[in-house]
A and B are shown apart, each in its own frame.
Chain A
């Protein structure tokens, strides 16, 4: 390995969102409840701005998951927050 590499990179995940953008299912498993949601905006001064809506949810198996919707490129990702 020549340099360094980031840990905890986002991983694509299949999310079916409701009308208000709230995750309804994550990887085919229904979301029981939404615990928290927050917006992250960064690098808006660069050509590659970052804009993500994070959701911390609990699925039917009782697992805590953090997923985010990339508001620039689209697509849903999961990541340990």
Chain B
């Protein structure tokens, strides 16, 4: 049983300063300076005027002339989301964080801890209330749903209210999914683009989508490619296992600037942050694999960039070099800078041997490349193709993909 926690309009709530700021007001997250002019998440009042997330700014203002634009706050969102995630991890949940506002976890392993599924869901709701008190009330409007797969649990969470949990179980799950609108596919990056063409073809529910291709997804594959196959699988109640995040210590350093800075001034601040971060005893000699650099902008709003180092390192000079390249991307002068560790590497990441054979060096490079790819794109990003029966007359039996253990 997968549990989905859904916090509606999470990014907008944080950017606007709390859920009460949205009440009855047409609001939307403004485009970032220099980025494409499209609005981000929108409030319910703006939705009533037909404004949608991702709509061109001009069209959004034409539909809702009183639309208020709020500067995005990726730094605040990341912090508040981390509070929610830590609260849920506090009940023992291994989380997959799909995006800020949507998280999943498996309830099966927690039944014994909390006394059945109802106990797990009650514990999750309690954790969300606690997170709401710790942050600006973000957990209060949380919706919780549960189902046999990630997709089904998401549908249940969207159906749930702030006080009502929806649990979909057993044979009723397929009937429940069949009734869901195809708009549910918007919540998956791979299938989001299918919603409009499906609507144009008159397909309104997942059940109708499934009936398009009763024998298999081949017809959908012909028309929509890989996304069509995935949509058919999701509509049929098949989904991939959860990809849960690894628990890491939180280490961060920040510095407020006396006056807004950019360019060389910020590079000096960055140098101080790097030195402070590396000097923290909690690091325990570990190297850094990935870090996030964020800033509070003088024009309002925040900016954040994730940096995956080419090699796990603890050399201040090389870190400064890699991070300072990202400072160029800052859309406006910053009032403050923050550097946080996203992922640690091994403690001996930079200990090279004096005499190393070419083969050992190549293997080390390969291990390092695999680690980098996984840090950026997830654990399934690097797999090993294993020959199991090279001479088999059945082509699909010759080679299999297996996890790469390094």
Binding site for B on A (CB under 8 A): 1-12, 14, 40, 42, 50, 79-81
Contacts and interface: CB of A to CB of B under 8 A. Distances in A.
15 contacts: A4-B401, A4-B402, A4-B403, A5-B400, A6-B400, A7-B399, A7-B400, A7-B401, A8-B395, A8-B399, A10-B396, A12-B221, A14-B222, A40-B393, A42-B394
B363 interface: no
Contact of B379 (A1, A8, A80): A1
Contacts of A9: 396
B69 interface: no
Nearest to A77: B218
Given A12-B218, A12-B221, A42-B394, A7 B379 contact: no
Contacts, number: 46
B397 A1 contact: no
B401 A5 contact: yes
A7 B403 contact: no
Which of A4, A10, A40, A50 counts the most B-chain CB atoms under 10 A from its CB? Answer: A4
Q: Which of B379, B393, B398, B399 has the most CB of A within 10 A?
A: B393
A3 to B, nearest CB: 8
A36 to B, nearest CB: 14
Contacts of B386: 4
Given A1-B380, A4-B386, A7-B385, A79 B396 contact: yes
Interface in B356-406: 379-380, 383, 385-386, 393-403
Nearest to A27: B222
Contacts of A10: 396
Nearest to B380: A1
Contacts of A2: 241
Given A12-B216, A12-B221, 10 more contacts: A1-B379, A1-B383, A4-B401, A4-B402, A7-B399, A9-B396, A10-B396, A11-B221, A12-B222, A42-B393
A4 B395 CA distance: 16
Contacts of B400: 4-7
Contacts of B380: 1
A5 to B, nearest CB: 5
Given A4-B401, A14-B222, A40 B216 contact: no
Contacts of B221: 11-12
B218 A6 contact: no
Given A5-B401, A6-B400, A79 B241 contact: no
B400 to A, nearest CB: 4
Contacts of B394: 40, 42, 50
Contacts of A8: 395-396, 398-399
Contact of B395 (A3, A5, A14, A79): A79
A58 to B, nearest CB: 19
A6 B396 CA distance: 6
A10 B216 CA distance: 13
Interface string B181-211: 0000000000000000000000000000000
Contacts of B241: 2
Contacts of B402: 3-4
Nearest to A5: B401
Contacts of A79: 395-396
A60 B311 CA distance: 49
Given A1-B403, A12-B221, A7 B396 contact: yes
Contacts of A40: 393-394
A28 to B, nearest CB: 11
Nearest to A80: B395
A24 B81 CA distance: 58
Contacts of B395: 8, 79-81
